[in-house]
A = this chain, B = another copy of it.
């Protein structure tokens, strides 16, 4: 590293462990004598506006508390910068004599790091630009998985464990819409809720496959005929064969976010599917939830594996910045064939930035309405220790006396 002043920022949607990466980076940096650590508030917007805080003297106890706190402790932004914006970022970093810039975020953030890196090279300014992975969507290339996903997946699995028990207790149809515009990993995590053979979710629909309303209805009917109840997990991003999201198809008015993306967060998809199932199949007890922000921000459901890896990804970023002579993105790789184990590598920014990984075919069943055992084998070690286990009454049935029913 060219000098001893570094800056860290957090971008995009918060996760349960993004502050683990922040803490890992800051603690690692403080092992270096005389290193100053700045944090930019609200991501790259904070860099442009010079909204910096000095994290060098942050107490270790407070940092550990922050590590356990979900959501970006430095604040985040949805700004997706163009070249001019990135030049402003670089100007600010240069003005403050920053030697290394660390951005914790998803594929958009990675792309920002790439452009800033190029700007620095153009001006021959000795800046180290590093991306630290984070996203509940699990959609970063190269990575086996991304920090934030395991904890969100655990939330989804535990929510479906409860939803399945609730549905078993009061039978009917229960559907829940889960975050995931293009990648279905988080929705697929609902399948980890199954313990007993008749446990839900009985159907899982991800955006990697065309969603056909007729197939969906016949799937639901088949499960109802078999179990007398049905639990369904669906991605918010499910779309028809023309790539039209089912959400927009069924919505009367369509809202768009700052990036021009259709907003899929509201309850309209869930409510429309309820209506569809009631009208077409005639079942009475049909309920649908949209998990919404709680699935990424709930304070109290975290994977300890995710915590450790997010912490390590932050620390590794600092080590790579010190020891490697190139910019890049920290990536997580699963190694070996036995016990779950990962290592961390420095990958090229252009291989991550702006690209989206989706679920491989081998993770989705041929029927397009469920995930495979291979996916569950991939997911299970990520969920961490202490995942709750449901128990059932085992007692034998008592012989009837009145025999009316």
Contact = CB atoms under 8 A, between A and B. Distances in A.
Contact of A65 (B48, B389, B403, B405): B389
A96 B404 CA distance: 14
A21 to B, nearest CB: 14
A289 B300 contact: no
Contacts of A194: none
Interface string A42-77: 100000111111111111001001101111111111
A12 B266 CA distance: 28
Contacts of A270: 266-267
A100 B60 CA distance: 59
Interface residues of A, number: 90
Contacts of A71: 162, 165-166, 168-169
A138 interface: no
Copies per complex of this chain = 2
Given A266-B267, A391-B66, A395-B54, A75 B293 contact: no
Contacts of A402: 50, 91-92, 95
| Residue of A163, A168, A266 with most partner-chain B CB within 10 A | A266
Contacts of A397: 51-54
B169 A14 contact: yes
Given A161-B299, A289-B293, A74 B274 contact: no
A268 interface: yes
A95 B401 contact: yes
A162 B299 contact: yes
Interface in A352-405: 388-398, 400-405
Contacts of A301: 300-301
A78 interface: yes
Given A76-B170, A92-B402, A289-B293, 5 more contacts: A69-B390, A73-B392, A161-B300, A165-B299, A166-B296
